[in-house]
Structure 1
Amino acid sequence: MDDATTFLNADPFSKQLGIRLISSSPGKSTLHLDISENHLNSHGTVHGGVIFSLADVAFAVASNTSGIPAVAINTSITYMKAASSGTLIAEANEFSSNPKLGSYVVEVYDQNREKIAVFQGLAYRKSPRK
């Protein structure tokens, strides 16, 4: 990925959710999402799909920081606590990598650093762009 901001700006779904890039570096990213009424489910808490999407985007940004296009081949998430207001923060970190695969862990916190979810993703690195 040439630029994390450009990468994220090319994703209309992330824009619609209100996901913001805070920082990125090789194998890492931090994103924020300010919770709005549109993010809530019928229980009044943030929809699991919103939390998953935030973590998935953080994973996508982190796995594409090398300049080699990477795509998800496996993901999972464990929800730890509900959130209903404030800000969600997703921090992605590369756990392991080789030329074809990268493993990432994304932790999602609320504004008080209480853990909301843990996401794991495995990325496949495609052939470099020419």
Structure 2
Amino acid sequence: MTLIDVLNTNDRFANNAGAKLTFIGDGRATAVMTVTKEHLNAGGVCQGGALFTLADIALAAVMNSHGNLTFSIESTISFLHSAVEGDVLTAEATETFNHRKIPYCEVKVRNGRNELVCVLTGIGYRKSIKFSGE
């Protein structure tokens, strides 16, 4: 199985939220999610946790794309624009700094109108063992 298959299958939380990886490349990854009524908060817009989940699966893909098991140790998210039911959101993750132990990445989530919905920055810890996905 490829990394994209492993993460799309084994990250059950992201899978249950409807977040799916569509691309993993060298220092980049993309994930998508359509906002459904199950994603909405009491104010009628997409709940922040759903947005974080989408950004987080893209972050995980970038951080693990070099083959070694890498976990996020700090993430910060800024919510800039509301997402509503029916919005197709795209999370584009970029590895800003590929340190052998402490990678730094940024994820931008946009809606279908190319409006920036949120930005997540993350720092990871890269272990010396290979990522197996099991």
TM-score in same-fold range (> 0.5): yes
Deviating beyond 6 angstroms after TM superposition, the runs of 4 or more aligned structure 1 residues are: none
Aligned to 1:116: 117
Is the counterpart of residue 43 in structure 1 residue 64 in structure 2? no
Q: Deviations over 1:7-32 (max 9, x none)?
A: 22111111110111111102211000
Aligned residues, how many? 130
> Kindly, what percent of the aligned residue pairs are identical?
30
Could you tell me the TM-score, scaled by structure 2's length? 0.92
Q: How does 1:60-99 map to 2 (within 5 A)?
A: 60-85=60-85, 86-99=87-100
State the superposition RMSD in angstroms.
1.5
Could you tell me the TM-score, scaled by structure 1's length? 0.94
Closer, same or farther in 2 for the Cα pair 1:102/1:17, shift >3 Å? same
- Give the Cα separation in 2 of the matches to 1:107 and 1:129: 27
Q: Which letter does structure 2 place at the counterpart of 1:24?
A: I
* 1:2 shift after superposition: 4.8
Structure 2: 5+ residue stretches without partners? none
